[in-house]
Amino acid sequence: MSVDDDRARMQHMLDHAREAISVMAGYQRDDLNHNRILQLALVRLIEIVGEASTKISETTRSRWSNIPWRENSRNAEPTYPWL
């Protein structure tokens, strides 16, 4: 896996994290609790971030050790606390 692959994956993670923030703009937590479409959209965006994080090389993980890689990769299999 090359540094360019990691860079592309990290950009992918950033893009989808920003999209998740954008999706939630104007909504409150209560909206998330009662809007199934919003739940599904947000969960999928978080899953994408988690999935991409599992493919980052160990070299890059070490280089960017301040990023909580393990916690991000757990998002590839999210829980659904509002269900």
3-state helix, strand, coil in the chain (%, to 5): 70, 0, 30
Residue 35: predicted pLDDT: 95
Residue 2: predicted pLDDT: 76
Question: Mind listing the pLDDT tens digit of every residue in the chain (83 residues)?
Answer: 677 899 999 999 999 999 999 999 999 999 999 999 999 999 999 999 988 888 999 999 999 888 887 776 666 665 555 54
Residue 75: predicted pLDDT: 62
The model carries a pTM of 0.76
User: What six digits make up the tokens of 66?
Assistant: 């301040």
